[in-house]
Amino acid sequence: MAKTWFITGTSSGLGRLLTERLLSRGDRVVATLRRPVVLDALRARYGDRLQVLALDVTDTPALRKAVDAAFTRFGPIDVAVSNAGYGLFGAAEEVGDAQIERQIATNLVGSIQLIRAVLPHLRKQGGGRIVQVSSEGGQIAYPNFSLYHATKWGIEGFVEAVAQEVAPFGIDFVIVEPGPTGTRFAEGLDHARPLPSYEHTPAADVRRAVNSGSFPLKGDAAKTVDAMIAAAEATNPPLRLALGSSAYESISSALRNRLEALEAQKQIALAADTAHAR
């Protein structure tokens, strides 16, 4: 049976490919992006099955209005996909205040407000799915991406809490965590002005790798989107979905290291309890 999807950030990358995949199989898509003209060719091809809404997710009133309009005109909506986002590229000391504010407003606050806007509609219709596109960078960290990681770690914590709050209403979440994937992500990076002091640091090593194209991109965008769709339609979807060998290996290593560090501190942790708790 055909489904209806609401997707942010559909101009390129995973959002665009997801939109194309869903339309090609007969689903309906409400696609949002800042420049609707980018989807004119798809609109001409798929007609009423593709509804395009202009939206900048940093504009919370406009975001709420777009979500309300989508559910009123095209509901019920089966799956909402929070995909809009980009990377701020620079060491923490290098990035500017305005860059930080825009990164957090887009990746973190925009995703939070989208989810908050969608939840009342999903409750009223008796349930639904929300897919939050994160990254392996929601559980690990590369130098030179500190602010990007702040938003991804932040949205994962938010979703993990909200998933528990709304489970009684039949609302499920999937946090998608792709590793470095062959999309246009690097083209959309917001670059900080490098400081000479960081020239011989891990931050500069990552910057050089990305700028030269030598940073390994093992993930396949088409396979990533197919896995996202399958998870979104699963009877019992996973809360987190790591995609690509890089994501699997890096997240596994990070979790093992964190657990080992925690276990090494066990006696210190237990000793901090009150006497009554022992």
Q: How far is CA 183 from CA 16, 28, 103, 113, in A?
A: 10, 23, 19, 25
Rounded to whole angstroms, the Cα distance separating 149 from 259 reads: 20
Rounded to whole angstroms, the Cα distance separating 146 from 95 reads: 10
Q: Which listed residue (11, 111, 134, 246) is catalytic? A: 134
Measuring CA to CA, which residue among 146, 97, 117 is closest to residue 53? Answer: 117
One-letter amino acid of 30: V
Rounded to whole angstroms, the Cα distance separating 223 from 105 reads: 29
pTM of the model: 0.94
The residue ranges of the chain whose pLDDT is under 50 are none
* Residue 148 falls in the annotated catalytic set: yes
**pLDDT computed for residue 278 by the predictor:** 63
Helix (H) or strand (E) segment spanning residue 7: strand 4-7
Contact 57/83 with Cβ under 8 angstroms? no
Q: Which listed residue (11, 46, 111, 152) is catalytic? A: 152
Residues 250/252/253/254 CA torsion (nearest 10 deg) = 80
* Residue 134 falls in the annotated catalytic set: yes
**pLDDT computed for residue 33 by the predictor:** 94
> Phi and psi of 83, rounded to 5°?
-120, -20
* Residue 65 falls in the annotated catalytic set: no
Q: Which listed residue (46, 86, 142, 148) is catalytic? A: 148
What radius of gyration do the chain's Cα atoms show? 20
**pLDDT computed for residue 123 by the predictor:** 97
Give CA 213 to chain center in angstroms.
23
Query: How deeply is 241 buried, as exposed, middle or buried, from its count of CB atoms within 10 A (0-12, 13-18, 19+)?
Result: buried
**pLDDT computed for residue 252 by the predictor:** 97
Q: Give the domain ranges of the chain.
A: 4-244
Rounded to whole angstroms, the Cα distance separating 218 from 242 reads: 13
**pLDDT computed for residue 277 by the predictor:** 72
Rounded to whole angstroms, the Cα distance separating 77 from 80 reads: 7
- 4-244 to CATH, choices 3.40.50.1820, 3.30.565.10, 2.60.40.2240, 3.40.50.720: 3.40.50.720
Residue found by looking up tokens 């396949």 in the block? 220
